[in-house]
Amino acid sequence: MLKSLFGKKESKVEVTSPITGKVLELAEVPDPVFSQKMMGDGVAFDPEDGEVVSPVDGEIVQVFPTKHAVGIKTKSGMEILIHIGLETVNLNGEGFESFVKAGDKVKRGDKLIEFDLNVVREKAASTITPMIITNTDDVVEIMEKNTGVPATKTETNVLTITLKK
């Protein structure tokens, strides 16, 4: 009731890099589903190694059966999808190992997935890994940071998201 009287407030969420590698604009992703922001807005990464960590504190909402993608929801309601490589669903889990399952609580920096970078290089369309905010209807503003530069997982802030509260 008080929210309806005083209006909604906004909350900010800092999102750190889930991967060590170069930060890319979504427009650079060679897949229109991501580059044209059909699933949402965000950034992508050109990974240097095969470890993906949580970019936020939250809850795992989904780990795809092929382990190539993971969904996380923050306490404030922001939903993030990390999609490792492009057309990696066709690998049927080859080269991927998940360390989480749906319902798990995670902290920023917790290991989510390991993947064999060489397998992805050889057998997938690309190693480029998009990180998408999938519920952009709940987002007031997405500020991109550090695109075009190297990022270190957990250490480099890559997005500041302002959410409707």
Q: How many CB atoms lie within 10 A of CB 43?
A: 25
What's residue 90's pLDDT? 94
Q: What is the pLDDT of residue 165?
A: 72
- E strands, the chain, are 10-16, 21-25, 41-47, 51-53, 58-63, 69-73, 79-83, 96-98, 105-106, 111-115, 129-133, 139-144, 150-151, 157-164
Contact 49, 154 (CB under 8 A): no
Contact 139/162 with Cβ under 8 angstroms? yes
Look at the domain 8-164 and name its fold. Glucose Permease (Domain IIA) (2.70.70)
The closest alpha carbon to 79, from 139, 35, 31, 23, belongs to 139
CA distance 134 to 155: 23
Sequence-ordered list of residues with C-beta below 8 angstroms from that of 80, at least 6 positions apart, any chain: 15, 42, 55, 56, 58, 71, 72, 73, 74, 131, 132, 133, 134
Q: For every one of its 165 residues, what pLDDT tens digit does the chain have, with 9 covering 90 and above?
A: 344 445 455 688 999 999 999 999 999 999 999 999 999 999 999 999 999 999 999 999 999 999 999 999 999 999 999 999 999 999 999 999 999 999 999 999 999 999 999 999 999 999 999 999 999 889 898 887 778 889 999 999 999 999 887
Q: What is the pTM of this model?
A: 0.92
Domains in the chain: boundaries: 8-164
pLDDT the model gives residue 146? 77
Q: Answer yes or no: 68 catalytic.
A: no
**Helix runs in the chain, H state only:** 2-6, 32-35, 117-123
Give the pLDDT score at 4: 44
- Residues 65/16/119/83 CA torsion (nearest 10 deg): 40
Active-site option among 44, 83, 117, 158: 83
